[in-house]
Amino acid sequence: MRRLFLIRHGLPAFPEAEKMCIGSTDLPLSPTGRLQACLLAETLRGISFGGVFCSRLERSRRTAEFLDPEPICLPGLEEMHAGDWDGLTFRQIRQRWPALFALRGRDPSAAIPGSEPLERGGARFLTAVEQALSLREGDIAIVAHATVNRSLICHALGLPPAQGRRFPLDYCAYCVFEYEGGSFSLRPEDINLPARPPLTDALCRDLLEAAGLPENTRQHCEAVSREAVRIGAALNEAGLGLDLPLIRRAGLLHDIGRGGASHEALGAAWIRALGYEREADIIARHHELGSLAPDEAAAVYLADKTVKEDLIIPLEARFAASLEKCSGGEARAAWQRRLGEALRLRDMINKICGKEIIA
């Protein structure tokens, strides 16, 4: 008996972040999609695949590369072509085909003009999957697409292809099929399995790399993480019960959105979308804390305000260096507000600890 791990690709980079109907339309992975693929690789790390296969479409190939640097692109694994709807946003589709759009909401088998029929696309995909199994021994992984993946689910369960929409398939979720004697079987509990492994320090570092952060930014994240843990440990010695592993992980990830506008909100949105709420909440507050409480977020916040490269800088000096970047009265007022917040928090923590923890 062999296993087939059938995977949906990561979230594509939809233009203007507006969802589209993409069958043959070739879009790259979004930053969130790359992070999802990183989690997928960690989730399946212990499995020795005889081969990793993908379609020619970039969102499939780039996801598969997280499992194997050289996946096998196999014709026939592509998503079903969506005809006249392919490459349009769902807003455009609703505007141009309102009746058909509403009908497909009730009956997914209703044909899109010019689209690949479900039965034909399913048969094409099944042939490609069987070819992949013939090319490699042992367990294999195939990174493909929602509609064709659902067609194989229906085939294994003895359902007509139109029933595929019954099965939700999240980005980078996977299904585990058993294959023996030319037949596929699938347990309901092995459909749409999430790639959400425990968030370790090593995985945090992998996520920073998957996000494309340069080496100097990753080094800054390491330094902030170390300093945040030091602050948290001092508070714990004073009787607080802070979660030091949480502080370490949030410190490592705090600048994952660096390079984007409002990088703290962007990074928090990415990490929240992956399912790590507590880390996301701290990331969202590392630039402007918003409250004075000696908690995990405060440790990361102050560490970020005192670390410059690998050096620990007194708060006033660190803020003075950033003042020249503020142009206009509004920016200077925000700078003054953040400085006041940081100084009050520093004084609070030093008082709790009974010594100077933060200069």
Judged by DSSP in three states, 32 sits in helix
pLDDT at 197 over 80: yes
Query: What pLDDT is attached to residue 97?
Result: 92
How would residue 325 be classed by pLDDT, with cut points 50, 70 and 90? low
C-alpha 225/C-alpha 216 separation (Å) is 14
Integer-rounded Cα Rg, in Å, for the chain is: 25
Query: What pLDDT is attached to residue 331?
Result: 61
Q: Using a CB cutoff of 8 Å and minimum separation of 24, what contacts does 314-318 make?
A: 314/359, 315/339, 315/342, 315/343, 315/346, 315/358, 315/359, 316/343
pLDDT at 326 over 90: no
Both structure tokens of 188: 């309901």
Domains for the chain: give ranges and CATH numbers.
2-190 (3.40.50.1240), 201-353 (1.10.3210)
Residue pLDDT, tens place only, 115-163: 899 999 999 999 999 999 999 999 999 999 999 999 999 999 999 988 9
How would residue 305 be classed by pLDDT, with cut points 50, 70 and 90? confident
Mean pLDDT of the region 329-339: 71
Its pTM surpasses 0.95: no
Q: What are phi and psi of 88, to 5 degrees?
A: -100, 150
Both structure tokens of 308: 């410059």
More confident residue, 181 or 153: 153
Strands of 51-54's sheet in order across: 72-73, 51-54, 140-144, 2-8, 174-180, 183-185
Strand partners, 20: 89
How would residue 288 be classed by pLDDT, with cut points 50, 70 and 90? confident
Query: What pLDDT is attached to residue 8?
Result: 98
Mean pLDDT of the region 55-73: 97
How would residue 358 be classed by pLDDT, with cut points 50, 70 and 90? confident
How would residue 24 be classed by pLDDT, with cut points 50, 70 and 90? very high
Query: What pLDDT is attached to residue 122?
Result: 94
Count the helices and strands in the chain (H runs, E runs): 14, 8
Contacts of 201 (CB under 8 A, 6+ apart): 248, 249, 252
- DSSP state at residue 51: E
Report how far apart, in Å, the C-alpha atoms of 230 and of each of 38, 296, 352, 354 are: 29, 11, 15, 15
